Amino acid sequence: MRKTIIAGNWKMYKSPKQALDFAHSLSDIEPNETVRVIVCAPYLALPLLKEKVTLPLEISAQNVHQEEEGAFTGEISASMLTSIGVDITLIGHSERRQYFGESDDVVARKVRRALSHELDIILCVGEHLEQREAGEEESVVSNQLKAALSGVSKEEMKSISIAYEPVWAIGTGKTASSEDAQAMGSHIRKELISLYDEETSSACSLLYGGSVKPENIDELLAQPDVDGVLVGGASLDPESFRKLVEAGNRK
């Protein structure tokens, strides 16, 4: 059975100490067995979180470089992450695509590199507002998926969850309707059947992201093809994040 995933994406917020304080204040959360609770922390906070924090809070990176190693000033490799026990990463977040020029090809190379180090991946896809207004959202997401998953085997798909994050809903307070989130979830499910098969598709956790908060999470998680959420702003405050985890338990 696929898992419900409640993932917080802290982006460029929280010092290591603030990250640890957050984790400590949530040490009593009790997610159901079918729920994974993940925080995607800034690189600097990862070593301390990995050292001090135990399940049920899982710790993820927000990005990873596509090359094994080399002269890439300021970058972090997959083996550096695994060397401190980090075994999950986001890949292809729209802010990486938009502000750091990550093309579909770069995203695909990151996916393959992360898989070769046995990292779990939350792969982000999603259309811009103009693309939705032109009715192109499904083809945009299909193309992003086909590119990112090229060369990824059925077996490797077990390590991948997919987060649909319409760019126009990120940080804007404008959430996609639960119908739109479900429609895209169902589209992604069909795309995975055509790329792989029914079994692979139905085992893959699909997340929705974009202005998710305690007030709207239940409606989103009520959709059959919304298995979880990737949350930016509303994941920063521990009490708000706690409410998101509680909603995960109600799914």
The C-alpha atoms of residue 87 and residue 148 are separated, in whole angstroms, by 19
**Contact flag: residue 41 with ligand PGA (CB under 6 A):** no
**Contact flag: residue 39 with ligand PGA (CB under 6 A):** no
In terms of Cβ atoms closer than 10 Å to its own Cβ (0-12, 13-18, 19+), residue 33 is exposed
Residue 95 catalytic? no
Closest residue to ligand PGA using C-beta atoms: 232
**Contact flag: residue 166 with ligand PGA (CB under 6 A):** no
Q: Which two tokens stand for residue 124?
A: 């982000």
Among 170, 176, 217, 226, binds ligand PGA (CB under 6 A): 170
Among 107, 230, 245, 247, binds ligand PGA (CB under 6 A): 230
**Contact flag: residue 231 with ligand PGA (CB under 6 A):** yes
Q: Is the dihedral of CA 18, 20, 23, 24 positive or negative?
A: negative
Which ranges of 32-88 would DSSP assign to H, the alpha helix? 46-52, 78-83
Residues 108/81, Cβ–Cβ less than 8 Å: no
Shortest CB 171 distance to ligand PGA, Å: 4
Between residues 151 and 171, which has the closer beta carbon with respect to ligand PGA?
171
Between residues 171 and 224, which has the closer beta carbon with respect to ligand PGA?
171
CA-wise closest residue to 211 among 165, 242, 245: 165
**Contact flag: residue 126 with ligand PGA (CB under 6 A):** no
**Contact flag: residue 228 with ligand PGA (CB under 6 A):** no
In the block, residue with structure tokens 């990463």 = 89
How many Cβ atoms sit within 10 Å of the Cβ of residue 59? 22
Q: Which two tokens stand for residue 147?
A: 């590119």
Between residues 164 and 200, which has the closer beta carbon with respect to ligand PGA?
164
The C-alpha atoms of residue 62 and residue 68 are separated, in whole angstroms, by 17
Say how many residues make up the chain: 251
Pick the catalytic residue: 93, 102, 127, 191? 93
Among the candidate windows 16-24, 142-150, 152-160, 228-236, which touches ligand PGA by CB under 6 A? 228-236
Among 66, 89, 211, 223, binds ligand PGA (CB under 6 A): 211
Pick the catalytic residue: 58, 127, 165, 191? 165
Shortest CB 212 distance to ligand PGA, Å: 5
Residue 117 catalytic? no
Q: Give me the amino acid identity at 181.
A: A
Question: Would you name the residues annotated as active-site residues?
Answer: 93, 165
